[in-house]
Amino acid sequence: MWEFIDERKAQIAFSAYQHVSLVLQAVLVATVIAVVLAVVVTRFRPLEPVANAVSAMGLTIPSFALLGLLVPLVGIGVASAFVAVTFYATLPILRNAVVGLQGVDARLVESAHGMGMNTLATLTRVRLPLAWPVILAGIRVSTQMSMGIAAIAAYVLGPGLGQLIYTGLAQIGGANALNSALVGTLGVVILALAIDALLLLLGRLTISKGIRA
């Protein structure tokens, strides 16, 4: 296997980079979408069960099925992979963001208004910082899940390490089939754990000491 890796260092590194890049970009977009939706949902309370139900249903749909539905719409390639990963990444973050924003003590929000913060300032200086630990937990769940979904998405020619797995599958019986699939799989595992560690670190840096568990 080391020989296999050695021979294809550049290609593997590029795939790994693409995989991470796809996931991080998708999660970033998902975070923005989820937080905006969560702010809307917490503003209009009756929407909350709807959002949670949609989120639960969305997560039920197998990623391979969603890819199948996306291909006719956005075509084969990076776009389908990106949309699919972003879709799944949004759901856990949305759920956590709703929980997190709702968990903010109403008296603190009133206190902020009472001191003359407008709605936007209250959101950015009080509600979001307080909900951030919960949102970040959602981001971690999303990122882990996205790493696996990105691997599946390689079937519709999405970028990343999943391609190595499918290459192995296609070359079955060939000399390097097992190596290829193994490198692809282990690569995803290692990257997933590394990114999770980075997100933990991000938490240490961005969660106020006053509310850290």
Partner 1 sequence: MSTTTPPSNTRAGGTDAPGNPDVSGVDLELVDVLKRYPGQKKPAVDGLSLHIPAGEIVMFVGPSGCGKTTSLKMINRLIEPTSGTISIGGEDVRGRNVDQLRRHVGYVIQGGSLFPHLTVAQNISVVPRLLKWDSRRTSERVDELLELVSLDPAKYRDRYPRELSGGQQQRVGVARGLAADPPVILMDEPFGAVDPITRQRLQDELLSIQEELRKTIVCVTHDIDEAVKLGDRILILQEGAQIAQYDTPEAILAAPANAFVEDFVGAGSTLKQLSLSRVSDVELVHPTTATVGERVAEVRARAEANGDQAVVVLDERRRPVDWMWLRELAAADTVRPVRDDVLTLDRRATLNDALDMMLTSTHGAAIVTGRRDEYLGVVNFTAVTGHIQATEQQLAEGRAADATAGRDDAWEGGGA
Partner 2 sequence: MSRTDTTRPVAVPAGDAPRSADTETAPRRSRWAVSGESRILLLVLPVVVALVFGAWAWWRATADLDSIEARQLAWGLILDLIWQHVKLTLVATFFVLLVAIPLGIALTRPRFKRAAPLAVGIANAGQAAPAIGLIVLLAMLLGFTFGTAVLALTLYAVLPVLRNTITGLQGIDPTLVEAGRGIGMSGAGVLFRVELPLAVPVIMTGVRTALVLLVGTATLATFVNAGGLGTLIVTGITLFRYPVLVSGALLVALLALLVDWAGRVLERVARPKGI
Binding residues for partner 1 (CB under 8 A): 105, 107-108, 110-118, 121, 126, 129-130, 208-211
CA 97/CA 37 separation, integer angstroms: 9
Q: How far is CA 190 from CA 36, 70, 79, 187, in A?
A: 31, 29, 25, 5
> Which parts of 1-20 interact with partner 2 (CB under 8 A)?
none
Closest approach, Cβ 196 to partner 2, in A, equals 5
127 near partner 2 (CB under 8 A)? no
151 binds, among partner 1, partner 2, none (CB under 5 to 8 A by kind): partner 2
DSSP characters over 151-165: HHHGGGT-SSTHHHH
Question: Could you tell me what percentage of the chain is helix, strand and coil, using 3-state DSSP and rounding each to the nearest 5?
Answer: 85, 0, 15
Q: How far apart are CA 160 and CA 158, in angstroms?
A: 7
Q: Rounded distance, CA 164 to CA 150, Å?
A: 12
68 binds partner 2 (CB under 8 A): yes
Q: Nearest distance from residue 171's CB to partner 2, in Å?
A: 11
Q: Which residues of 73-88 are buried (b: 16+ CB within 10 A; e: fewer)?
A: eeeeebebbbbbbbbb
Distances (CA, A) of 122 to 44, 102, 127: 17, 14, 6
**Closer CB to partner 1, 112 or 152, in the complex:** 112
Please report whether residue 31 would count as binding partner 2 according to CB under 8 A: no
Distance CA 90, CA 79 (A): 16
List binders of partner 2 among 143-182 (CB under 8 A): 144-145, 147-148, 151-152, 155-156, 162, 165-166, 168-169, 172, 177-178, 181-182
Q: Based on the shown chain and the rule CB under 8 A, indicate whether residue 75 belongs to the binding site for partner 2.
A: no
Q: Which does 201 bind (CB under 5 to 8 A by kind): partner 1, partner 2, none?
A: none
Q: Which residues contact partner 2 by CB under 8 A?
A: 48-50, 52-53, 56-57, 59-69, 71-72, 76, 88, 91-92, 95-96, 99-100, 103-105, 108, 130-131, 133-134, 136-138, 140-142, 144-145, 147-148, 151-152, 155-156, 162, 165-166, 168-169, 172, 177-178, 181-182, 184-185, 188-189, 192-193, 196, 210-211, 213
